[in-house]
Amino acid sequence: MLVSMKAILDHANENNYGVMSMNCINIEMVRAGIEAACEERSPIIIQMGCGQISKHAHLTEIVPVVKELAERATVPVAYNLDHGSNLEDEIRAIQAGFTNVMIDASSLPYEENVQRTKTIVSLAHPMGVSVEAELGHVGQAADGDGRTDDMYTNVEQAKDFVARTGCDALAVAIGTAHGNYPKGFVPKLDFERLHELKEALGIPLVLHGGSGSGEENLRKAVAGGINKINVCTDAFAAAKAGMLELLEENPNADFLALQMKAEASVKAFVKDYMHIIGSNDRYVYADFDSGSKE
Ligand code: 13P
Protein backbone atom coordinates (compact mmCIF):
# COMPACT_ATOMS: atom_id res chain seq x y z
CA MET A 1 0.00 0.00 0.00
CA LEU A 2 1.08 3.54 -0.69
CA VAL A 3 1.40 5.53 2.55
CA SER A 4 2.89 8.77 3.76
CA MET A 5 6.58 8.64 4.62
CA LYS A 6 5.70 9.97 8.06
CA ALA A 7 3.65 6.85 8.78
CA ILE A 8 6.62 4.62 7.93
CA LEU A 9 9.19 6.68 9.78
CA ASP A 10 7.14 7.22 12.92
CA HIS A 11 6.83 3.45 13.25
CA ALA A 12 10.57 3.02 12.67
CA ASN A 13 11.30 5.75 15.22
CA GLU A 14 9.09 4.14 17.87
CA ASN A 15 10.59 0.72 17.23
CA ASN A 16 14.24 1.69 16.65
CA TYR A 17 14.97 0.49 13.16
CA GLY A 18 16.03 1.98 9.84
CA VAL A 19 14.16 2.04 6.53
CA MET A 20 15.89 2.03 3.19
CA SER A 21 15.10 4.87 0.82
CA MET A 22 16.38 3.91 -2.59
CA ASN A 23 16.87 6.27 -5.51
CA CYS A 24 15.18 4.64 -8.50
CA ILE A 25 15.50 5.75 -12.09
CA ASN A 26 13.34 3.19 -13.86
CA ILE A 27 10.58 0.63 -13.44
CA GLU A 28 13.05 -2.20 -12.91
CA MET A 29 14.57 -0.53 -9.86
CA VAL A 30 11.17 0.36 -8.40
CA ARG A 31 9.98 -3.22 -8.86
CA ALA A 32 13.18 -4.67 -7.42
CA GLY A 33 12.83 -2.53 -4.30
CA ILE A 34 9.15 -3.22 -3.73
CA GLU A 35 9.44 -6.96 -4.38
CA ALA A 36 12.38 -7.16 -1.97
CA ALA A 37 10.32 -5.31 0.64
CA CYS A 38 7.34 -7.65 0.24
CA GLU A 39 9.54 -10.73 0.54
CA GLU A 40 11.31 -9.33 3.60
CA ARG A 41 8.06 -8.00 5.13
CA SER A 42 9.76 -4.64 5.38
CA PRO A 43 8.58 -1.10 4.64
CA ILE A 44 10.47 0.71 1.88
CA ILE A 45 10.74 4.23 0.53
CA ILE A 46 11.10 4.73 -3.22
CA GLN A 47 12.66 8.07 -4.04
CA MET A 48 13.64 10.09 -7.05
CA GLY A 49 15.78 13.19 -7.17
CA CYS A 50 14.71 16.18 -9.25
CA GLY A 51 17.67 15.72 -11.58
CA GLN A 52 17.00 12.01 -11.93
CA ILE A 53 13.38 12.68 -12.84
CA SER A 54 14.18 15.23 -15.51
CA LYS A 55 17.05 13.21 -16.99
CA HIS A 56 15.61 9.71 -16.95
CA ALA A 57 11.91 9.70 -16.34
CA HIS A 58 9.20 12.28 -16.67
CA LEU A 59 6.81 12.69 -13.78
CA THR A 60 3.68 11.94 -15.75
CA GLU A 61 5.20 8.69 -17.00
CA ILE A 62 6.85 7.28 -13.88
CA VAL A 63 4.47 8.35 -11.10
CA PRO A 64 1.54 6.12 -12.18
CA VAL A 65 3.91 3.15 -12.32
CA VAL A 66 5.25 3.72 -8.83
CA LYS A 67 1.75 4.24 -7.46
CA GLU A 68 0.48 1.07 -9.09
CA LEU A 69 3.35 -1.07 -7.80
CA ALA A 70 3.10 0.49 -4.34
CA GLU A 71 -0.65 -0.05 -4.10
CA ARG A 72 -0.22 -3.71 -5.01
CA ALA A 73 2.47 -4.23 -2.37
CA THR A 74 1.70 -6.16 0.80
CA VAL A 75 3.89 -3.80 2.84
CA PRO A 76 3.88 -0.02 3.33
CA VAL A 77 5.62 1.91 0.54
CA ALA A 78 6.25 5.67 0.53
CA TYR A 79 7.22 7.79 -2.47
CA ASN A 80 9.66 10.61 -1.80
CA LEU A 81 10.94 13.53 -3.84
CA ASP A 82 14.65 13.57 -2.96
CA HIS A 83 16.50 16.90 -2.69
CA GLY A 84 13.71 19.14 -3.90
CA SER A 85 15.10 22.64 -3.99
CA ASN A 86 12.50 24.92 -5.53
CA LEU A 87 8.83 25.61 -5.02
CA GLU A 88 7.82 24.57 -8.51
CA ASP A 89 9.29 21.06 -8.22
CA GLU A 90 7.78 20.59 -4.76
CA ILE A 91 4.30 21.57 -5.91
CA ARG A 92 4.54 19.38 -9.00
CA ALA A 93 5.54 16.41 -6.86
CA ILE A 94 2.75 17.00 -4.32
CA GLN A 95 0.20 17.28 -7.12
CA ALA A 96 1.57 14.20 -8.88
CA GLY A 97 1.08 11.99 -5.82
CA PHE A 98 4.40 11.76 -4.01
CA THR A 99 3.68 10.97 -0.35
CA ASN A 100 6.70 12.90 0.95
CA VAL A 101 8.78 15.76 -0.34
CA MET A 102 12.25 16.69 0.79
CA ILE A 103 13.11 20.36 0.80
CA ASP A 104 16.86 20.79 0.73
CA ALA A 105 17.76 24.37 1.51
CA SER A 106 20.74 23.25 3.57
CA SER A 107 23.30 25.21 1.61
CA LEU A 108 21.40 28.48 2.12
CA PRO A 109 21.70 30.74 5.19
CA TYR A 110 19.89 29.33 8.26
CA GLU A 111 16.92 31.72 8.24
CA GLU A 112 16.33 31.08 4.55
CA ASN A 113 16.34 27.32 5.21
CA VAL A 114 13.76 27.83 8.00
CA GLN A 115 11.50 29.98 5.81
CA ARG A 116 11.63 27.67 2.78
CA THR A 117 10.99 24.59 4.88
CA LYS A 118 8.06 26.28 6.65
CA THR A 119 6.53 27.18 3.30
CA ILE A 120 6.77 23.61 2.00
CA VAL A 121 5.34 22.20 5.23
CA SER A 122 2.38 24.59 4.93
CA LEU A 123 1.71 23.36 1.38
CA ALA A 124 2.36 19.65 1.90
CA HIS A 125 0.66 18.88 5.21
CA PRO A 126 -2.88 19.86 4.19
CA MET A 127 -2.47 17.42 1.27
CA GLY A 128 -1.48 14.56 3.59
CA VAL A 129 2.11 14.72 2.33
CA SER A 130 4.95 14.71 4.86
CA VAL A 131 8.18 16.73 4.65
CA GLU A 132 11.86 15.96 5.16
CA ALA A 133 14.27 18.86 5.60
CA GLU A 134 18.04 19.07 5.94
CA LEU A 135 20.12 21.02 8.43
CA GLY A 136 23.89 21.10 8.33
CA HIS A 137 25.02 19.99 4.91
CA VAL A 138 25.80 16.53 3.53
CA GLY A 139 28.27 17.13 0.72
CA GLN A 140 29.76 15.07 -2.08
CA ALA A 141 32.22 12.31 -1.23
CA ALA A 142 34.24 13.21 -4.31
CA ASP A 143 34.89 16.66 -2.81
CA GLY A 144 36.13 15.14 0.43
CA ASP A 145 33.82 17.46 2.35
CA GLY A 146 32.26 14.57 4.24
CA ARG A 147 35.45 14.55 6.26
CA THR A 148 35.30 18.03 7.73
CA ASP A 149 32.90 18.81 10.51
CA ASP A 150 32.21 22.48 9.76
CA MET A 151 28.97 21.51 8.01
CA TYR A 152 27.78 19.09 10.72
CA THR A 153 24.33 19.63 12.20
CA ASN A 154 24.36 21.83 15.28
CA VAL A 155 22.15 20.43 18.06
CA GLU A 156 20.81 23.71 19.45
CA GLN A 157 20.08 25.02 15.96
CA ALA A 158 18.32 21.76 15.10
CA LYS A 159 15.98 22.14 18.09
CA ASP A 160 15.03 25.62 16.94
CA PHE A 161 14.69 24.44 13.32
CA VAL A 162 12.33 21.56 14.05
CA ALA A 163 10.19 23.64 16.43
CA ARG A 164 9.84 26.46 13.91
CA THR A 165 9.34 24.47 10.72
CA GLY A 166 7.24 21.49 11.83
CA CYS A 167 9.16 19.17 9.47
CA ASP A 168 8.42 15.47 9.93
CA ALA A 169 11.95 14.13 9.50
CA LEU A 170 15.36 15.76 9.53
CA ALA A 171 18.41 14.86 7.45
CA VAL A 172 21.46 15.40 9.62
CA ALA A 173 25.11 15.81 8.70
CA ILE A 174 27.24 13.54 10.89
CA GLY A 175 30.05 12.51 8.55
CA THR A 176 28.64 10.75 5.49
CA ALA A 177 28.76 12.20 1.99
CA HIS A 178 26.97 11.48 -1.29
CA GLY A 179 28.59 9.25 -3.90
CA ASN A 180 31.73 7.13 -3.96
CA TYR A 181 34.40 7.69 -1.33
CA PRO A 182 38.02 7.34 -2.36
CA LYS A 183 38.98 3.65 -2.59
CA GLY A 184 39.40 2.05 0.83
CA PHE A 185 38.06 5.09 2.72
CA VAL A 186 35.36 4.45 5.33
CA PRO A 187 33.77 7.59 6.80
CA LYS A 188 34.11 8.27 10.50
CA LEU A 189 30.68 9.17 11.85
CA ASP A 190 30.05 11.47 14.81
CA PHE A 191 27.87 9.15 16.91
CA GLU A 192 28.02 11.40 19.93
CA ARG A 193 26.45 14.21 17.92
CA LEU A 194 23.84 11.78 16.59
CA HIS A 195 22.96 10.74 20.13
CA GLU A 196 22.60 14.37 21.20
CA LEU A 197 20.45 15.17 18.17
CA LYS A 198 18.14 12.24 18.83
CA GLU A 199 17.81 13.14 22.51
CA ALA A 200 17.05 16.75 21.67
CA LEU A 201 14.66 16.22 18.76
CA GLY A 202 12.98 12.84 19.18
CA ILE A 203 11.79 12.83 15.54
CA PRO A 204 12.88 10.44 12.75
CA LEU A 205 16.41 11.28 11.58
CA VAL A 206 17.73 10.68 8.08
CA LEU A 207 21.19 9.64 6.90
CA HIS A 208 22.07 10.76 3.39
CA GLY A 209 24.99 9.21 1.56
CA GLY A 210 24.27 5.66 2.74
CA SER A 211 26.55 4.16 0.08
CA GLY A 212 30.00 3.02 1.08
CA SER A 213 29.36 3.81 4.75
CA GLY A 214 30.23 0.30 5.91
CA GLU A 215 28.03 -2.20 7.69
CA GLU A 216 29.23 -1.36 11.18
CA ASN A 217 28.58 2.36 10.71
CA LEU A 218 25.09 1.63 9.38
CA ARG A 219 24.20 -0.61 12.33
CA LYS A 220 25.52 1.95 14.82
CA ALA A 221 23.74 4.80 13.05
CA VAL A 222 20.42 2.96 13.30
CA ALA A 223 21.08 2.12 16.96
CA GLY A 224 21.83 5.81 17.50
CA GLY A 225 18.53 7.01 16.05
CA ILE A 226 18.73 7.07 12.25
CA ASN A 227 15.42 5.85 10.79
CA LYS A 228 15.84 6.51 7.07
CA ILE A 229 18.92 5.70 5.04
CA ASN A 230 19.27 7.10 1.53
CA VAL A 231 21.01 4.83 -0.93
CA CYS A 232 21.74 5.65 -4.54
CA THR A 233 25.33 4.94 -5.63
CA ASP A 234 25.45 1.40 -4.20
CA ALA A 235 22.08 0.50 -5.77
CA PHE A 236 23.26 1.66 -9.19
CA ALA A 237 26.49 -0.28 -8.63
CA ALA A 238 24.50 -3.43 -7.82
CA ALA A 239 22.61 -3.10 -11.11
CA LYS A 240 25.83 -2.60 -13.05
CA ALA A 241 27.61 -5.48 -11.32
CA GLY A 242 24.76 -7.81 -12.25
CA MET A 243 25.02 -6.82 -15.89
CA LEU A 244 28.80 -7.20 -15.96
CA GLU A 245 28.56 -10.61 -14.33
CA LEU A 246 26.11 -11.77 -16.98
CA LEU A 247 28.24 -10.38 -19.80
CA GLU A 248 31.21 -12.24 -18.40
CA GLU A 249 29.24 -15.49 -18.46
CA ASN A 250 27.65 -14.79 -21.80
CA PRO A 251 28.98 -11.93 -23.94
CA ASN A 252 25.99 -12.40 -26.27
CA ALA A 253 23.42 -11.75 -23.54
CA ASP A 254 20.70 -9.55 -25.00
CA PHE A 255 19.20 -6.37 -23.56
CA LEU A 256 16.24 -8.13 -21.98
CA ALA A 257 18.48 -10.60 -20.17
CA LEU A 258 20.70 -7.75 -18.99
CA GLN A 259 17.72 -5.76 -17.66
CA MET A 260 16.40 -8.81 -15.83
CA LYS A 261 19.81 -9.54 -14.34
CA ALA A 262 20.17 -5.93 -13.18
CA GLU A 263 16.74 -6.08 -11.53
CA ALA A 264 17.53 -9.35 -9.75
CA SER A 265 20.84 -7.96 -8.58
CA VAL A 266 19.25 -4.79 -7.14
CA LYS A 267 16.61 -6.88 -5.42
CA ALA A 268 19.24 -9.08 -3.74
CA PHE A 269 21.15 -5.95 -2.68
CA VAL A 270 18.04 -4.39 -1.14
CA LYS A 271 17.17 -7.56 0.75
CA ASP A 272 20.66 -7.69 2.29
CA TYR A 273 20.49 -4.02 3.19
CA MET A 274 17.18 -4.50 4.98
CA HIS A 275 18.80 -7.06 7.26
CA ILE A 276 21.64 -4.68 8.11
CA ILE A 277 19.35 -1.82 9.08
CA GLY A 278 16.79 -4.05 10.76
CA SER A 279 13.63 -3.37 8.77
CA ASN A 280 13.00 -7.01 7.78
CA ASP A 281 10.01 -8.71 9.41
CA ARG A 282 8.81 -5.47 10.99
CA TYR A 283 5.58 -5.32 9.12
CA VAL A 284 4.22 -8.60 10.47
CA TYR A 285 4.51 -7.33 13.99
CA ALA A 286 3.55 -3.80 13.20
CA ASP A 287 0.61 -2.10 14.73
CA PHE A 288 0.83 0.08 11.69
CA ASP A 289 -1.11 3.27 11.21
CA SER A 290 -0.94 3.49 7.43
CA GLY A 291 -1.37 7.26 7.17
CA SER A 292 -2.76 6.39 3.74
CA LYS A 293 -3.93 9.36 1.77
CA GLU A 294 -7.19 7.72 0.81
P1 13P B 1 24.61 7.80 -2.01
O2 13P B 1 24.64 7.92 -3.50
O3 13P B 1 25.93 8.09 -1.39
O4 13P B 1 24.03 6.52 -1.55
O5 13P B 1 23.65 8.96 -1.47
C6 13P B 1 22.29 8.90 -1.77
C7 13P B 1 21.53 10.01 -1.16
O8 13P B 1 21.82 10.46 -0.07
C9 13P B 1 20.40 10.55 -1.92
O10 13P B 1 19.77 11.60 -1.28
pLDDT attached to residue 70 = 97
Q: Is the CB of 208 under 6 A from ligand 1?
A: yes
Q: Is the CB of 106 under 6 A from ligand 1?
A: no
Q: What is the mean pLDDT of residues 119-125?
A: 98
Whether the per-residue pLDDT at 288 is higher than 80: the answer is no
Q: What is the mean pLDDT of residues 38-52?
A: 94
Whether the per-residue pLDDT at 147 is higher than 50: the answer is no
Q: Is the CB of 20 under 6 A from ligand 1?
A: no
Q: Cα–Cα distance between 101 and 78 in angstroms, integer?
A: 10
Q: What is the mean pLDDT of residues 44-53?
A: 90
pLDDT bin (cut points 50, 70, 90) of residue 53 is: confident
* Backbone CA torsion sign across 89, 291, 135, 192: negative
pLDDT bin (cut points 50, 70, 90) of residue 137 is: confident
Please, what is the angle between helix 255-277 and helix 233-249, to 10°?
140
Q: What is the mean pLDDT of residues 191-199?
A: 98
Q: What is the mean pLDDT of residues 221-240?
A: 98
Q: In the annotation, is 82 catalytic? A: yes
Q: Cα–Cα distance between 80 and 112 in angstroms, integer?
A: 22
Whether the per-residue pLDDT at 149 is higher than 70: the answer is no
pLDDT attached to residue 51 = 80
pLDDT attached to residue 293 = 41
Q: Which of 56-65, 141-150, 220-229 has the lowest mean pLDDT?
A: 141-150
Q: What is the average pLDDT value for the chain, to the nearest integer?
A: 93
CA 209 to ligand 1 center in whole angstroms: 4
| Of 5, 22, 23, 132, best ligand 1 pocket probe by most atoms within 8 Å of the beta carbon | 23
pLDDT bin (cut points 50, 70, 90) of residue 170 is: very high
Decide if 92 contacts 59 (C-beta within 8 A): yes
Q: Cα–Cα distance between 33 and 79 in angstroms, integer?
A: 12
CA 23 to ligand 1 center in whole angstroms: 8
Q: Is the CB of 228 under 6 A from ligand 1?
A: no
| Of 22, 53, 229, 232, best ligand 1 pocket probe by most atoms within 8 Å of the beta carbon | 232
SS3 label, residue 135: strand
Q: Which of 25-39, 51-65, 70-84, 126-140 has the lowest mean pLDDT?
A: 51-65
Q: Cα–Cα distance between 229 and 140 in angstroms, integer?
A: 16
pLDDT attached to residue 260 = 98
Q: What is the mean pLDDT of residues 260-279?
A: 98
CA 212 to ligand 1 center in whole angstroms: 10
Whether the per-residue pLDDT at 87 is higher than 90: the answer is yes
pLDDT attached to residue 54 = 72
Q: Is the CB of 139 under 6 A from ligand 1?
A: no
- Which atom belonging to ligand 1 lies closest to the Cα atom of 180? 3
Q: Is the CB of 6 under 6 A from ligand 1?
A: no
CA 210 to ligand 1 center in whole angstroms: 6
Q: Cα–Cα distance between 177 and 156 in angstroms, integer?
A: 22
